[in-house]
Amino acid sequence: MTNAEPAAAHHATSALRVSNLRFAYRGADGGFTLRVHDLTLARGEQMLLSATSGGGKSTLLQLIAGLMEPDSGTIEVLGRNVHAMRGAARDRYRGAHIGMIFQTFNLLQGFTALENVLAALMFSEVPPGEHRARAAALLTSLGITRHERLVEQLSVGQQQRVAVARAVACSPAVVLADEPTASLDPENAGVAIGLIQQACREKGAALLCVSHDPAIAARFERVQKLADLGGATSPGPQEAAR
């Protein structure tokens, strides 16, 4: 199921726009080239981007988040070119407007559920005096009531909920979800996707979920293949491992 790309007039209000993106990785053991000609996500829109394992999905999300530099092209979040910013300015913009949910959660070990969400709020535009109450309320709304438990003491499903809370804590414009169900069994995977989608709806965030799991496609109104946007050619071992 694939919907048409939003019209050009839609771009002015988009949460995310990727244009003429090219990124080439070269190494002694091979390489790949990722291309995305045009990808636009409206505010609040939810999209599943599918690709095979090693197809460039994780690399694309890292480029969108400004964690890697493209060779050419532009990536705009709320109309601002992410890669035109440098250093602390880019970090602040990412913290305020981009939420990320990783395949392995990437929670801060040795810290509580509450502290993990507070860490995200440190980079937000939310007044510091509101951080603790906001983090606690968000965790509770996602079914985490024991806020002071260390994250390594939580079940996988509970860790996923903390990761979702952290991703939407700053009310971002866009949430990037990288294979968010890969660590979960089928039953919990369905619950997790529903949880992510609902949290994004409540925060008004666009959601770009990348996955090669066909089971979650039915949950998205917009599904596209990365290959149709340009795709990755000659993937190397590093990308296949992502």
Kind and range of the H or E run holding 97? helix 87-97
Helix/strand/coil (H, E, C) string of 221-242? Answer: CEEEEHHHHEEEECCCHHHHCC
Q: Residue 6 — very low, low, confident or very high, per pLDDT cuts 50/70/90?
A: very low
Q: In this prediction, what percent of the chain has a pLDDT beyond 70?
A: 90
Domains in the chain and their CATH numbers? 13-240 (3.40.50.300)
Identify the residue with better confidence: 122 or 83: 83
The predicted-structure confidence for 77-109, as pLDDT tens digits, reads as follows 999 999 999 999 999 999 999 999 988 889 999
What would the mean pLDDT of 42-56 be, rounded to a whole number?
89
Most confident of 22-26, 130-134, 180-184, 238-242: 130-134
The string of DSSP codes covering 159-205 is HHHHHHHHHHTT--SEEEEESTTTTS-HHHHHHHHHHHHHHHHHHT-
Q: What is the mean pLDDT of the chain?
A: 88
What count of other Cβ atoms lies within 10 Å of the Cβ of residue 219? 15
- Average pLDDT rounded to a whole number, residues 149-173: 94
* Stated pTM of the model: 0.87
pLDDT score recorded for residue 223 = 96
Are the beta carbons of 77 and 98 closer than 8 angstroms?
yes
Distance CA 120, CA 236 (A): 33
Question: How many C-beta atoms lie closer than 10 Å to residue 187's C-beta?
Answer: 9
Q: CB-based contacts of 79: which residues, under 8 Å, 6+ apart?
A: 12, 14
Residues 136-150, mean pLDDT to the nearest whole number: 96
The pLDDT of residue 52: 77
Nearest 5°: phi and psi at 70? -75, 160
* 4, two tokens: 């048409």
CA angle 118, 124, 127 (to 5 degrees): 80
13-37 per-residue burial string, b: 16 or more CB within 10 A, e: under 16: ebbbbbeebebebeeeeebbbbbbe
Reply yes or no on whether the pLDDT at 54 is more than 80: no
Q: What is the pLDDT of residues 167-211, one digit of tens each?
A: 999 999 999 999 998 877 787 888 889 999 999 999 999 999 999
- Residue 155 CA to residue 160 CA, distance in Å, equals 9
Is residue 217 over pLDDT 70? Answer: yes
